[in-house]
Chain A
Amino acid sequence: QVRPVSAAPEKITEKVAESIKEAQETCADDPASGECVAAWDGVEELSAAASHARDKKKGSDPLEEFCKDNMETDECRTYED
């Protein structure tokens, strides 16, 4: 069974760029419309998601990540006493 993996930051980055373009196009016709406002709100939501994904990736230590799945290896073994 394959565990689902959350979307990679690169993928969200693409979506952010896309949503900005879309918002700019939507607002070109009518800058005060509900659609324009909703489009920019979508940009904010994706930007926040992208930043959260980046934080998550940045925070992870390669060794810690490896040790999550390989507790028994020499470099990961820890004893309480």
Chain B
Amino acid sequence: MAICTVYTTPSLNSTCSISTTSKTQLGFHQKQVVFYSSGKKTSKRGSNTTSPYVITCSTTVGDSKTVVIGLAADSGCGKSTFMRRLTSVFGGAAEPPKGGNPDSNTLISDTTTVICLDDYHSLDRTGRKQKGVTALDPRANDFDLMYEQVKAIKDGIPVEKPIYNHVTGLLDPPELIKPPKILVIEGLHPMFDSRVRDLLDFSIYLDISNEVKFAWKIQRDMAERGHSLESIKASIEARKPDFDAYIDPQKQYADAVIEVLPTQLIPDDNEGKILRVRLIMKEGVEFFNPVYLFDEGSTVSWIPCGRKLTCSYPGIKFYYGPDTYFGHEVSVLEMDGQFDRLDELIYVESHLSNISTKFYGEVTQQMLKHADFPGSSNGTGLFQTIVGLKIRDLYEQLISTKAKTPVEATKA
């Protein structure tokens, strides 16, 4: 569907034909064509010299604007796993831009483009060392450029985005980012700057507790040459003040927070293998209806293990209930423990409501598709998948409401 608005200043009796290509290709969003009819063609009044026709066309009104999603988390906290689950919900694999910088942090799929906010570092690794600031420090980041470029993409304008090279620690030459249907900005500060925050249609914060973060980093780094328990600890400790000052406060702005905590099923567990994961969903967010268990608004504690679900020690426990989070009303869904057999997840899925699936068993199917990803047997994978489906639902609702009001959409 192509909708065109034609504005004419003093009507002329000249004919002009407008052909619109109805391509719905990514990057082709809005075209402005200006026709000038030369005043030499004798008009009756003869007073007009030039008279412009301004024709604004947008192919499929919903396409004219990109939906922007923000994902905040510390480094090494599973952002990339979440991103892979999210892009999988929209179909198609996300891959780095073809033929570009091999160290590019961008991932592109048919519908989604994921950009890493590290690309907006204003200081490279050496610069930060000289100034004595971490990457978490706002002084090491260029929020003006971040705002301008995210806004441009949201308005359908391609941008030349810098690339921060994580291997060399240098800022590489920029790459071209075309406006996708869905733009995901992931990194340390997607909700830090209020201008960028206002551009987000949905925001997520991955909140990993200190105990679990430590356990995860040991798993990640212990095999690495040079690393020891002391160096991992030192690195976490050194970054903590900046993390608490600049990253952690962003969670109050998130529409959904995924909290990862040590299990309560085993007393004094420090292994970080069994997790208690909480999905905190803000109430009253447009196009986002929180998931619930059995009865919306009640407080429910549920142990599904028994005849229908095989659980070994320590079992699985769900919790659902209303709560307040930084003064906001929220709904909390919690899962403690892990699945032994992923296909039995269907039993849990069938008791959850408002999960925005398109068919019965979609959550289970998505989880089975990526059974090898970290977190697939516990609440992190389950809730990440559910958030992915909620984002798809939000995207579809946003698009359909825009299509209903084409005039406003084109004017905006």
| A contacts, CB < 8 Å to B | 3-7, 11-18, 20-21, 23-24, 27, 33-53, 55
- B76 and A51 contact, CB distance less than 8 A: yes
- A40 and B239 contact, CB distance less than 8 A: yes
20 other A-B residue contacts (CB within 8 Å) besides A34-B133, A47-B220: A3-B102, A6-B102, A7-B168, A18-B226, A20-B231, A34-B131, A37-B242, A38-B132, A40-B234, A40-B235, A43-B231, A43-B235, A44-B76, A44-B235, A45-B125, A46-B166, A48-B76, A50-B224, A51-B224, A52-B80
- B167 and A41 contact, CB distance less than 8 A: no
Say yes or no: is B274 at the interface (Cβ < 8 Å to chain A). no
List B residues 260-278 near A (Cβ within 8 Å). none
- What is the minimal beta-carbon distance from A72 to any residue of chain B, in angstroms? 20
- What is the minimal beta-carbon distance from A36 to any residue of chain B, in angstroms? 7
Q: Which residues of B contact A38 (CB under 8 A)?
A: 128-129, 131-134
- A4 and B239 contact, CB distance less than 8 A: no
Bound complex: CA A39 to CA B126 (Å): 9
Q: 12 A-B Cβ contacts within 8 A? A: A7-B103, A14-B225, A20-B231, A37-B239, A38-B132, A38-B134, A39-B129, A40-B235, A45-B135, A45-B166, A46-B166, A47-B227
- A49 and B167 contact, CB distance less than 8 A: yes
Q: Contact string, B53-89, partner A, CB cutoff 8 A, digits 1/0? A: 0000000000000000000000110001000000000
Bound complex: CA A40 to CA B80 (Å): 22
Q: Which residues of B contact A49 (CB under 8 A)?
A: 166-167
- A47 and B129 contact, CB distance less than 8 A: no
Q: Which residues of B contact A36 (CB under 8 A)?
A: 238
- A47 and B234 contact, CB distance less than 8 A: no
- A4 and B102 contact, CB distance less than 8 A: yes
Residue of A21, A42, A51, A55 near B226 (CB, 8 A) is A21
Q: Which residues of B contact A12 (CB under 8 A)?
A: 167
- A24 and B231 contact, CB distance less than 8 A: yes
- The residue in chain B whose Cβ has the minimal distance to the Cβ of A53 is B167
- B238 and A37 contact, CB distance less than 8 A: yes
Q: Which residues of A contact B252 (CB under 8 A)?
A: none
Q: Knowing A6-B103, A51-B220, say if A45 contacts B231 (CB, 8 Å).
A: no
Residue of A5, A13, A45 near B225 (CB, 8 A) is A13
Say yes or no: is B198 at the interface (Cβ < 8 Å to chain A). no
List B residues 329-388 near A (Cβ within 8 Å). none
- What is the minimal beta-carbon distance from B291 to any residue of chain A, in angstroms? 29
Bound complex: CA A45 to CA B129 (Å): 13
Task: Count chain B CB atoms within 10 A of each CB in A11, A23, A51 and give the residue with the most.
Answer: A51
Task: Count chain B CB atoms within 10 A of each CB in A18, A41, A42, A49 and give the residue with the most.
Answer: A41
Say yes or no: is B114 at the interface (Cβ < 8 Å to chain A). no
- The residue in chain B whose Cβ has the minimal distance to the Cβ of A5 is B102
- B234 and A13 contact, CB distance less than 8 A: no
- What is the minimal beta-carbon distance from A39 to any residue of chain B, in angstroms? 6
- B238 and A40 contact, CB distance less than 8 A: yes
Bound complex: CA A6 to CA B102 (Å): 5
Bound complex: CA A51 to CA B132 (Å): 25
Bound complex: CA A40 to CA B103 (Å): 22
Residue of A7, A11, A16, A47 near B76 (CB, 8 A) is A47
Say yes or no: is B183 at the interface (Cβ < 8 Å to chain A). no
Say yes or no: is B101 at the interface (Cβ < 8 Å to chain A). yes
- The residue in chain A whose Cβ has the minimal distance to the Cβ of B228 is A20
List B residues 215-232 near A (Cβ within 8 Å). 217, 220-221, 224-227, 231
Say yes or no: is B92 at the interface (Cβ < 8 Å to chain A). no
Bound complex: CA A20 to CA B221 (Å): 12
Q: Which residues of A contact B182 (CB under 8 A)?
A: none
Q: Which residues of B contact A50 (CB under 8 A)?
A: 224
Closest 5 CB pairs of A and B: A34-B132, A17-B226, A40-B238, A6-B102, A41-B134
Residue of A4, A16, A55 near B224 (CB, 8 A) is A16
- The residue in chain B whose Cβ has the minimal distance to the Cβ of A41 is B134
Bound complex: CA A48 to CA B241 (Å): 20
- The residue in chain A whose Cβ has the minimal distance to the Cβ of B166 is A49
Say yes or no: is B136 at the interface (Cβ < 8 Å to chain A). yes
Q: Contact string, B113-131, partner A, CB cutoff 8 A, digits 1/0? A: 0000000000001001101
- B101 and A37 contact, CB distance less than 8 A: no
Q: Knowing A12-B167, A34-B132, say if A41 contacts B224 (CB, 8 Å).
A: no
Bound complex: CA A48 to CA B116 (Å): 14
- A47 and B221 contact, CB distance less than 8 A: yes
- A20 and B226 contact, CB distance less than 8 A: yes
Q: Which residues of B contact A39 (CB under 8 A)?
A: 129, 238
Q: Knowing A6-B102, A39-B129, A48-B166, say if A17 contacts B225 (CB, 8 Å).
A: yes
